[in-house]
Structures are given as C-alpha cells and as structure tokens.
Structure 1
C-alpha cells in the first residue's frame, strides 16, 4: 500500500487531471478509492478536486454511495465533510446514502452519518 500511495501522491501533484479521468464504467479514481476504503487516497483526490464528489458512474452512483454500500466509515467521514449535501443525492429508485447503509446492513456507516449531522 505504501508504494502505491507514494506513486499516487506524485501523480496527483504532477498530473492533477488524473483525478477526473473516467474508466469504461464512468468511474473516477475517487469512486474506486471510496469503494475500496483507501481513505488516504480519497483525501488526496479531494484535495486535488473536491468537485469529483458529485460525479456519477454508469449506474448513477457517486463515490459517497459506493462508500456507504461497502461500509467504508473513514471514507464516509471524509466525503461528508467535503460535500455534506451529497447525503441527499438519490439513485434511480430514490435510494439515498442512508437508505443504502440500511439496505446493505452497514449499521456502523449509518451511525457515522447520523453522528456527523
């Protein structure tokens, strides 16, 4: 992890555009780091461009949705502080981050969200 983190630090400093590069599933690096729980990388990406919090993947999910679905508490804290309004963004069926925490049985994540607000 330390090696990839060092690589990412230098990449984010020299090529900040990488933070907004989409893959074939319309995922940004922030989507991937949020889903995997790499909170150090999430923070670096937010430092480069906080607007990426609002980006949707091909399924309409934001990095916040993915962190909630996976129960990534530390990432949820970072995203909540960066863009508190993101908690209200809905998926196609109307699910918010709070709904996803309940749906995927991520009670620690739900508690974190309640504590943050």
Structure 2
C-alpha cells in the first residue's frame, strides 16, 4: 500500500532517496504513484536527484517523463536540486531528458541562478 509517513513520504520516496533501484522498480510495478508529493511538495524524483541516484532517476522517469519538470512547494524542479548540489552529471542527464532550463522558482531564480548562489 502507498501509505505515507508523518512527512508525507511514501515507500517510493524512501526507496528513491536511498538509491534502492530494485525496490523502486518493484514498487512501480505494484502501481506506486510516482507523482505523489510529500509535505515539502517533493516527488520521489526530487529525493533521488538530491542524493545523486542517477539509476533511480532513470527508472522514475521511464514512462513518466513529465515529472522531470515537477516543482516542489518552493517551485524548484529536480534540475534546481541538481544545480544546487553541484551534480553536473545529473544536470546533464536531466537536461537531456527534457528539464526546462528557463523555469524559475517562486523567487524568480532559475537553475543557473541556484548553481551560482551555491558556488557550483
């Protein structure tokens, strides 16, 4: 069952955040919702990006390409998170999979702004 914890994280969020690709694949096969947001408005995709799990990001995007530009509660997409954490390989991967470089967060910052602010 897709029951969230007190922070709104589903089992898919937890598996994605921890880089457990096999668990992510299994949960998705059991119809876990890849577009379910937690209390911070984050998808499992945001959590996988945050922790640098490219294999999990690949799995989550397969058949759910539209989530690549999903924004969290602050208007930040997975691309913002990758830029903020200095993950150049992840940034390239997300851009090659449809991430919108022109998108801005609720403060008017783009992923490029975030990268500069974060000294990345």
TM-score, normalised relative to structure 2? 0.77
Secondary structure at 2:34 match in 1: helix
Instruction: Specify the alignment match of 2:57 in structure 1.
Output: 42
How many pairs were matched up? 104
Matches within 5 A, 1:94-109: 94-106=108-120
Question: When you count helix as a share of all residues, which structure comes out higher?
Answer: 1
How far apart are residue 74 of structure 1 and its match?
Answer: 2.3
RMSD between aligned residues: 2.0
8 Å CA contact retained: 1:37, 1:75: yes
The 1:65–1:104 alpha-carbon spacing in structure 2 relative to 1, beyond 3 Å, is same
Instruction: Specify the alignment match of 2:74 in structure 1.
Output: 59
Q: Which region of structure 1 is more displaced relative to structure 2, 3-12 or 56-65?
A: 3-12
8 Å CA contact retained: 2:70, 2:77: yes
Matches within 5 A, 1:74-93: 74-84=89-99, 86-93=100-107
- The match for 1:14 among 30, 39, 64 is 30
Unaligned runs of 5+ in 1: 107-117
The 1:18–1:47 alpha-carbon spacing in structure 2 relative to 1, beyond 3 Å, is same
The 1:90–1:3 alpha-carbon spacing in structure 2 relative to 1, beyond 3 Å, is closer
8 Å CA contact retained: 1:26, 1:56: yes
Unaligned runs of 5+ in 2: 1-14
The runs of at least 4 consecutive aligned structure 1 residues that moved more than 6 Å come to: none
CA distance in 1, matches of 2:49, 2:20: 16
